[in-house]
Amino acid sequence: MIITMKKIISVVLLSIFLLSASFINDGGWEKLLDKDLSKWRIYQSFRHKDDYHGKAPVNEKGELIQPIGYDKNEAGLVSVTMVNNEPVVRISGETYGCMFTKQEFQNYHLKLMVKFGDKKWTPRLNEPKDSGLLYHSQGELGVDYWRSWMQAEEFQIMEGGFGDYWCVAAVGAHIKMHDPAARKDMAVYDPKGIDTQMGVGGHRSGFVQHSHDYEKPGDWNSVELICYGDKSLQIINGHVVMALTQLVYKDGDIIKPLVKGKIQLQSEAAEVFYKDVQIKSINGIPSEYASYFE
C-alpha cells in the first residue's frame, strides 16, 4: 500500500509539473492560450445598430435591453482551433464585447500575433476592421461608450491604425506629440515631441495616432506591449509606434497611478484571429527602449 501511494503521489506531482511546463517557454515566457481558454473569461454586451450614440439600448417599448453578459459565448463569439498543436482564437465580432484574463498583470512584456478575417458587422460595415488590446483593465465591464469593456488603456488594433492609442473610460496618460494644439484626428505620436497629458486630468481627449504605419495588411502581425511602473510601449512588427508615461485612472474623484490590471481582447464588429499570446515578468524597461522615456 505504501508503494502504491508513493506511485500515486509521484504521478500527481509529475502531472502538475507537466501542466505547468506546458504554459512556460524558455526565457520565462508564459503561454496565455490553450484549447480550453482556461485563463480567460468572455463578456458580450450588445449587437449595436447604426444609430447608436452612447445611450443604453432599448426595445420597442422603450425598456432597457440587458447585455448578454458574462461567460455566455452566444453565437460562438469566441472559438479555438488547434493549428500545428497550437491554439488559434477566433473572435467573430458579431456582438461587442471581449475575452479578458482572469488574472491581473503588472511589470510585463506581452507579445501576440493577430490578423483580421473577412467578416464585418453592423455598425462598422463601411469602416476599417477593428479590435484592440486593452491593458491595465480595472473594474466592471460595460463602463465605456460602447458599454462593452472595462476602463483601460487601449493599444489599438485596426486596419490602418495598428498601435494607435485610446483612453477607454476614465483613464489617461502622457504622450509626446508634435503639435498638442492639433485637432483630435491629427494628434500623432512623436518621440521627440511635446509631452502632452491625455484623457483623465488632461486637456485633450484620449486619442493619439501611431507614429508610423507598420501593419502587414491581410497577414499575421506581431504585437508587443511592454509595461513597467506607470510607463508602456506599443510595438508593431518590431517597431515602436507609441510610448506612454504617467498612466492614471480615476477612482471616484481621485486620480491614481495605473500600473496593473487585466488584459482584454476586443470584439468590435470585425472577425479577428489571435495566436501565440505570451507574457513574462520584467524588472525594468529594456535598455534598448530607454531613450523613449528620456
pLDDT of residue 260: 98
Report residues of the chain scoring pLDDT below 50: 1-2, 8-21
pLDDT of residue 290: 96
pLDDT of residue 23: 59
As a CATH number, domain 32-293 is 2.60.120.560
Q: Helix, strand, coil proportions of the chain in percent (round to 5)?
A: 10, 45, 40
pLDDT of residue 16: 43
pLDDT of residue 6: 52
CB 29 within 8 A of CB 110: no
Phi-psi region at 71: left, alpha or beta (left = phi > 0; alpha = psi -120 to 50): left
d(CA 261, CA 263): 7
Phi-psi region at 191: left, alpha or beta (left = phi > 0; alpha = psi -120 to 50): alpha
Sequence ranges of the domains in the chain = 1-28, 32-293
- Cell for 247? 498612466
Of the candidates 222, 223, 235, 248, the residue with the CA atom closest to the CA atom of residue 285: 235
CA 42 to chain centroid, in Å, comes to 13
pLDDT of residue 271: 98
